[in-house]
Structure 1
Amino acid sequence: MPFLTPTVPPYESREFMARPRTERIRLLTAFWAENGFGSPRMVHTIYIVKLVLFYALGGVLAATLTSHVGSPLDVAGWWDEPIVYQKLVLWTVLLELFGVAGTWGPLAGHFKPMTGGAAYWLRPGTIRLPPWPGKVPFTRGDRRTAFDVLLYAAALGSLALALVLPGVHSASLAAARPEAAGGLVRPALMALPLVLLVLCGLRDKVLFLAARGEQYLPIMLFSATLPFTDLIIAAKLLIVVVMVGAAVSKFGKHFINVIPPMVSNAPWRPKSVKRAHYRGVGGGDLKPSRLSWFMAHILGTTAELVVPPVLLFSTDRELTLVAVACMVALHLFIVSTFPLAVPLEWNVLFSYIYLFLFVGHPVGEGYGVLDFSQPWMLPAVTAGLLFFPVLGNLRPDLVSFLPSMRQYAGNWASATWAFAPGAEAKLNQLKKPAKNQIDQLVAFGYEPDVATMTMELAIVWRSMHSQGRGLISTLQRYLGDTYESYTLRDGEFGCNSVIGWNFGDGHLHDDQLIEAIQKRVGFAPGEFVIVWVESQPIHKKTQEYFVMDAALGIVERGTWLVSDCVEQQPWLPNGPIPSNVTWRHPEYHPSARRPEQQAAPGPAGAAPGMGLTS
């Protein structure tokens, strides 16, 4: 793979794009199996430099030089200092919220510019997405105001302030760890960004999720309210819930389809290893192989399910070290694959947190779950941490997949956007600092035809996952004879260019975002069609979807069986998967209206609700 130039599919691009879409997907899935996106290694090198020098080294310098814990070079002297742990969390939240950690750069759909985040959220007039605009006072509307910008800037400032100020004496820390030199971050300085982030999130759910509030705000809450020993035990419970929740979310049929395309996108693995994750690349069978099954269910799900509880209860130092090494290896494997949305910083921080919590504060030395200062704290903290994962698995329409702890499960709310010829360019009318991805790629240096084929790879990537096959199938049926004339874009990539951030959560580009776009752009009927699907509830075998015309609103709802999706090849050689249509708009759906009615205007979202905003 060239260092400065991408590896591109071996086809003449114009001739290739003239082929039927089913054939294009078949050929490009075979290309993906061996090359992934084909990104130049220069891109991966940028990520490594950013991770090592900017994030890791910058975080260590910021945490140690402001905390009186000795030289940054004396790792043995500060690795288990509680204030270093707190400040590395603050550093990570600051970078995530600013937009230069996860979901940054080309592998997240930000080509030029590479940063979304603050470039959008410090700009009045961009789109914001309140989670409960009809229920929480003062949150209605979808336009970012000067107040929103100031609130966001205040949150960034509060994180920076907590990061740079030295720690203060803590009686509870001195009693448990009299040798700790740096003290703790002042509780008020942990509480202030927490409150501001919640307020930001009520005005725009994107900001709360971008800060990875489900991962880090509990740590800030524990730091602001609990004595030291209780803080450590609660933090242990948090990391165990995160990993066990991730394991439970992988019990279904989706996850095995995540492993092969993720490994295929890893730049350093030979093609033979990538091909081994499929049943037969050369023979046209791109279903996951037994190796992928082993990696998904043994090295992945089983490890996440078994190892964290071992860490929580183990009093044996050697066993604890082995368990920590297993979890660090899992995170380093994820980093090595450069997954889309590139949550590299999160994986590095969690690797350190395992070492800090479970090796630095062993169960046998007073940091076990039965060592809370009050007996009621164990059930209270556990129930609080489990609330959103349990609710999110039962009712995914109510909770983002991030607080549901389904980050890598493959069971994601997703969407495919379909544009009539020339309609995609209208998105550039939106107030946003970045153009559409196709235009960004050209500005990044790609030839227009190569850029077009590269964006097609995003659809191919989605089709290699279970829900992508349902999305394509529904579009084929809805668009009928016009299907081939439409340009398809993955909803996550489109969302990135519109609001500046997405981590794979379809709730950020559901009907709420489409209505906000339509208010500003005014697509004509048929110009912008969306198929959107909700995550699969843990107790059901189906996923719920809707079809939406941006100009007409939601025109169809239905379900499909997950098993039908995973049994198909990505390019649907046997035709669209079956679906169960539960509702169609009586006037605006193609199957229920005369041709002369197809351009009739209609109210957006004119259909029974599914509670899709979360």
Structure 2
Amino acid sequence: EFTDPMSWFTQIVTYQKLAVWLMFLEVVGLAGAFGPLCGHFAPMLGNIRYWVRPGTIRMAPWGRRLPGTGGDERTVGDVLLYLVVLASLLYPLIVSAVPVTAVPDGTDPQELIPAYTFIPILIAMPLMGLRDKVIFLAARSEQYLPIFLWSAILGAVALSDGATSSDFVNLVIVFKVIIVVVWVGAGVSKFGQHFLMVIPPMISNSPGQPYAVKKAHYRDAPNDIRPSRIAWFMAHVAGTAVEIVVPLVLLFVANSVVALIAAIIIVGFHLFITSTFPLAVPLEWNVFFGFIAIVLWGGVSGGFDAATYSIWHFQNAWILVPVFALALVGPVIGNLRPDLISFLPSMRQYAGNWASAVWAMRPGIEERLNELPLVENQVDQLQRMALTPYTRDEADVTQQKAVGWRSMHSQGRGVLSALFEHLDDIEDRTLREGEFMCNTIVGWNFGDGHMHDERLIASIQKRLDLKPGDLVVAYCESQATPWKYDTPQHYRVIDAALGVVERGTWQVADCVKEQPWLPNGPIPLDVRWTAPGFVRRSTLTSSADGTAVR
């Protein structure tokens, strides 16, 4: 009952409805990617403003290979399909829940959203994703579609005539498996050298942390702002270890007291993340996961006791094979071949190992971005904020903070090194964080560098016809198998007018040992390919008359 909050902790339908609501809010733009932290200043809403307007840029994942998905311009058909997605998410919320006929003794009477109401979104969202992967990822489909899928399959069994209490137990256990895979996948992704770099700026951004605590996360701030031993402990013990070990305890324990203690630890874990307000953090997602930990494992009277709803009591254990297989495909592929899959289904949430980019633009090019459909660059947005308008310089400094934030992380030092190696006029250029720029152009981003790689740059070039050197982007892919410290990280340099002009690698160890401002110069780059005839601008010299020559 909506008017009885305590009943939320004992009703599995709460889990279903919250998942539907959160996907709806995400795909509209009122959740994780809303507001200034994601580069939406005035207005603060992206997503739906772009996706209901024909002519805006869309990004098909396999447009060159899959017939019917090619091109990069949103059509009326794409808009209609997006509206179908919204309607299909509202459908399960407006249909009355159905009583479950058989539940175990000690469990309160239960209801489920009718299984058939999930079918429209299970069809519409994948179709939408084939036309525009941005919308598919913005909906956090990797988080919520598995819940909908098994609600449709096992929920139908639990609601069928002749269903037993074991059928309902099976559904609850699968819900537990889904959320545990998310936790453990995110924990495993934090292996390696990247995540340690995440913690200090994350703590620094927290309004609730005293200055002394923030400073303690650096070795010798402001002279040496590499992570301290306290940061190491927070990253690898309070972070990675907790995110892997505690969920595994929750999944396999059959003791209600132990499950309750583990659930409380998880709640504290999510509350801490929420308190730091990291960039683009899905605060509502953290609240959801903390709340659901209490629902599924809290042992609330009349709820889902760990002894009864234990994975060891799953009937027809073979069903768990496709459950685990579907849940693990994203993390496994994403860690082995990060170039093939977004960091979101890879479960690399805030792991520091991201595909990233920094854009370097000649004077006037940032303003030209306003010629793109529905785009207004963030410097202009900041200057026209209603209550607190910024000056031009204040707006520019605010944008530079995003580049500074990127340099605090391992990949930022790499992409900035690539730009310094390539551009002899970098001091005269406008540098912008690629994720922020992407937000203004496609309406959404959540740390996925794949959305602003050479494909987006090509879409911009098609519309603006820039000259060689006008827009140069240093881009890096996530490091594959980060638990192997000698695995190189791949980068490429993109010129909007020329395409990819250089590919190479760097060692992550070289990034993490340097200060963010690169006092010793760019980190070493191993150039593995250069476009025929291309020469870096930084390798050009001046002739007697001042013109650049090779």
Q: How does 1:323-342 map to 2 (within 5 A)?
A: 323-342=262-281
Q: Residues of 1 paired with 2:500 and 2:542: CA distance?
A: 19
Give the unaligned 5+ runs of structure 1. Answer: 1-68, 600-614
Which of 217, 240, 243 is 2:183 aligned to? 243
Identify the residue that residue 139 of structure 2 maps to in structure 1. Answer: 211
Identify the residue that residue 201 of structure 2 maps to in structure 1. Answer: 261
Matched, 1:294 2:233: yes
Matched, 1:435 2:376: yes
TM-score where L is the length of structure 1: 0.82
Identify the residue that residue 97 of structure 1 maps to in structure 2. Answer: 27
SS of corresponding position for 1:493: helix
Identify the residue that residue 162 of structure 2 maps to in structure 1. Answer: none
Matched, 1:200 2:128: yes
Identify the residue that residue 346 of structure 2 maps to in structure 1. Answer: 404
Identify the residue that residue 28 of structure 1 maps to in structure 2. Answer: none
Identify the residue that residue 280 of structure 1 maps to in structure 2. Answer: 220
Q: Residues of 2 paired with 1:524 and 1:490: CA distance?
A: 21
Matched, 1:88 2:18: yes
Query: Partner letter of residue 462 of structure 1?
Result: R
SS of corresponding position for 2:503: strand
Note if contact 1:552-1:588 (Cα within 8 Å) is conserved in structure 2: no
Query: Partner letter of residue 60 of structure 2?
Result: P
Note if contact 1:106-1:114 (Cα within 8 Å) is conserved in structure 2: yes
Note if contact 2:186-2:349 (Cα within 8 Å) is conserved in structure 1: yes
Give the unaligned 5+ runs of structure 2. Answer: 159-167
Query: Partner letter of residue 437 of structure 1?
Result: Q
Identify the residue that residue 583 of structure 1 maps to in structure 2. Answer: 529
Identify the residue that residue 109 of structure 1 maps to in structure 2. Answer: 39
Identify the residue that residue 487 of structure 2 maps to in structure 1. Answer: 541
Note if contact 2:176-2:296 (Cα within 8 Å) is conserved in structure 1: yes
Which of 383, 395, 408 is 1:451 aligned to? 395
Identify the residue that residue 283 of structure 2 maps to in structure 1. Answer: 344
Matched, 1:502 2:445: yes
Judged with a 3 Å threshold, the aligned counterparts in structure 2 of structure 1 residues 178 and 189 are, in CA distance, closer, same or farther, namely farther
Query: Partner letter of residue 378 of structure 1?
Result: L
Matched, 1:466 2:405: no
What root-mean-square deviation, in Å, do the aligned CA atoms of Structure 1 and Structure 2 show?
1.9
Which of 415, 432, 438 is 2:357 aligned to? 415
- Number of matched residues? 522
SS of corresponding position for 2:432: strand
Note if contact 1:108-1:342 (Cα within 8 Å) is conserved in structure 2: no
Give the superposition deviation at 1:138: 0.9
Give the superposition deviation at 1:273: 1.7
Q: Residues of 2 paired with 1:380 and 1:454: CA distance?
A: 47
Q: Residues of 2 paired with 1:305 and 1:409: CA distance?
A: 13
Query: Partner letter of residue 404 of structure 2?
Result: V
Note if contact 1:87-1:163 (Cα within 8 Å) is conserved in structure 2: yes
Query: Partner letter of residue 469 of structure 1?
Result: R
Larger CA deviation: 185-194 vs 554-563: 185-194
Judged with a 3 Å threshold, the aligned counterparts in structure 2 of structure 1 residues 289 and 594 are, in CA distance, closer, same or farther, namely closer
Judged with a 3 Å threshold, the aligned counterparts in structure 2 of structure 1 residues 570 and 593 are, in CA distance, closer, same or farther, namely closer
Q: Residues of 1 paired with 2:326 and 2:314: CA distance?
A: 15
Note if contact 1:370-1:378 (Cα within 8 Å) is conserved in structure 2: no
Q: Residues of 2 paired with 1:337 and 1:355: CA distance?
A: 22
Give the superposition deviation at 1:437: 0.9
Matched, 1:484 2:424: no
Give the superposition deviation at 1:182: 5.7
Identify the residue that residue 327 of structure 2 maps to in structure 1. Answer: 385
Matched, 1:517 2:460: yes
Note if contact 2:256-2:306 (Cα within 8 Å) is conserved in structure 1: no
Give the superposition deviation at 1:587: 1.5
Give the superposition deviation at 1:179: 6.1
Query: Partner letter of residue 480 of structure 2?
Result: P
Give the superposition deviation at 1:371: 2.7
Q: Residues of 1 paired with 2:43 and 2:513: CA distance?
A: 39
Give the superposition deviation at 1:272: 1.8
Deviations 1:15-35 (A, max 9, x none): xxxxxxxxxxxxxxxxxxxxx
Deviations 1:187-229 (A, max 9, x none): 1111211211111111100111101011111000010001432
Q: Residues of 1 paired with 2:106 and 2:86: CA distance?
A: 32
Q: Residues of 1 paired with 2:67 and 2:108: CA distance?
A: 45
Q: Residues of 2 paired with 1:177 and 1:116: CA distance?
A: 48
Deviations 1:413-460 (A, max 9, x none): 00000001111111100002x411111111121111111111111110
Identify the residue that residue 140 of structure 1 maps to in structure 2. Answer: 70
Which of 470, 484, 497 is 1:527 aligned to? 470
Note if contact 1:167-1:182 (Cα within 8 Å) is conserved in structure 2: no
Q: How does 1:9-48 map to 2 (within 5 A)?
A: none
Identify the residue that residue 54 of structure 1 maps to in structure 2. Answer: none
SS of corresponding position for 1:546: strand
SS of corresponding position for 1:544: strand
Identify the residue that residue 560 of structure 1 maps to in structure 2. Answer: 506
Deviations 1:549-580 (A, max 9, x none): 00111100000000000000000000000010
Query: Partner letter of residue 573 of structure 1?
Result: P
Give the superposition deviation at 1:586: 1.7
SS of corresponding position for 1:581: strand
Query: Partner letter of residue 419 of structure 1?
Result: M
Identify the residue that residue 163 of structure 2 maps to in structure 1. Answer: none
Q: Residues of 2 paired with 1:162 and 1:89: CA distance?
A: 11
Q: Residues of 2 paired with 1:487 and 1:431: CA distance?
A: 22
Give the superposition deviation at 1:369: 1.9
Q: Residues of 2 paired with 1:595 and 1:435: CA distance?
A: 37
Q: Residues of 2 paired with 1:306 and 1:454: CA distance?
A: 39
Identify the residue that residue 222 of structure 1 maps to in structure 2. Answer: 150
SS of corresponding position for 1:397: helix
Q: Residues of 2 paired with 1:594 and 1:519: CA distance?
A: 31
Q: Residues of 2 paired with 1:564 and 1:502: CA distance?
A: 28
SS of corresponding position for 2:307: helix
Identify the residue that residue 605 of structure 1 maps to in structure 2. Answer: none
Note if contact 1:587-1:593 (Cα within 8 Å) is conserved in structure 2: no
Query: Partner letter of residue 116 of structure 2?
Result: A
Judged with a 3 Å threshold, the aligned counterparts in structure 2 of structure 1 residues 137 and 373 are, in CA distance, closer, same or farther, namely farther
Give the superposition deviation at 1:594: 10
Which of 326, 329, 336 is 1:394 aligned to? 336
Q: Residues of 2 paired with 1:459 and 1:559: CA distance?
A: 21
Query: Partner letter of residue 312 of structure 2?
Result: L
Task: Among all aligned residue pairs of Structure 1 and Structure 2, give the percentage whose two residues are the same amino acid.
Answer: 53
Give the superposition deviation at 1:73: 3.8
Query: Partner letter of residue 106 of structure 1?
Result: P
Q: Residues of 2 paired with 1:193 and 1:526: CA distance?
A: 44
Note if contact 1:80-1:356 (Cα within 8 Å) is conserved in structure 2: yes
Larger CA deviation: 254-263 vs 367-376: 367-376
Which of 312, 323, 335 is 2:251 aligned to? 312
SS of corresponding position for 1:258: helix
Q: Residues of 2 paired with 1:182 and 1:243: CA distance?
A: 26
TM-score where L is the length of structure 2: 0.92
SS of corresponding position for 1:417: strand
Note if contact 2:107-2:304 (Cα within 8 Å) is conserved in structure 1: no
Q: Residues of 2 paired with 1:383 and 1:247: CA distance?
A: 18
Note if contact 2:33-2:282 (Cα within 8 Å) is conserved in structure 1: yes
